[in-house]
Amino acid sequence: MRPAAVSSTSSPRDVVSRAIAAQLATSGSDHVFLDATMIDSFAQVECDRLEQVAEAVEAGASLVLCDNLTPDEVRRSVEFVRGHPRGAAGAVLVEASGNITLDTVADYAVRADVISSGALTHSAPALDIGLDLL
């Protein structure tokens, strides 16, 4: 699949929406898997301090990943992004990630555009399967 092109007027939501639509149209499936190779020129910046959020937005990030920030720090990050001209225009998504559990996800849900939690996979039991020849 060709990457979805990003123009100067494309918001991250537009780019991802186009990539999803293209994947659905070509796969015939009702679900999709997207990875970074399907989106051209989409800059994601991981920030673990509030100062880095401002730097990332000013530098042209398409997605600011707030890693291991508290719900209040994520709220402040979102407020900064939405108050910035690029963020107000919908050109920057905010993702909350790191130490988010099923118990705390609601604290982040009203703030960030995207929430990532490893809690689902961290708690899954491992199954060790060996294929030894006798």
User: Is the domain defined by 43-118 classed in CATH 3.20.20.70?
Assistant: yes
Per-residue pLDDT tens, the chain, 134 aa: give them: 444 444 445 565 666 677 777 777 887 777 666 555 555 567 888 999 999 999 999 988 889 999 999 999 999 999 999 999 988 878 899 999 998 988 999 998 878 888 888 876 766 677 777 676 65
Q: So what's the pLDDT on residue 31?
A: 67
Residue 132: strand, helix, or coil: coil
Q: So what's the pLDDT on residue 21?
A: 77
DSSP at 128: -
Q: So what's the pLDDT on residue 1?
A: 40
Q: Which part of the chain has CATH 3.20.20.70? A: 43-118
Distance CA 93, CA 33 (A): 19
Residue 36: strand, helix, or coil: helix
Q: So what's the pLDDT on residue 11?
A: 62
Q: Give counts: helices (H), strands (E), the chain.
A: 6, 4
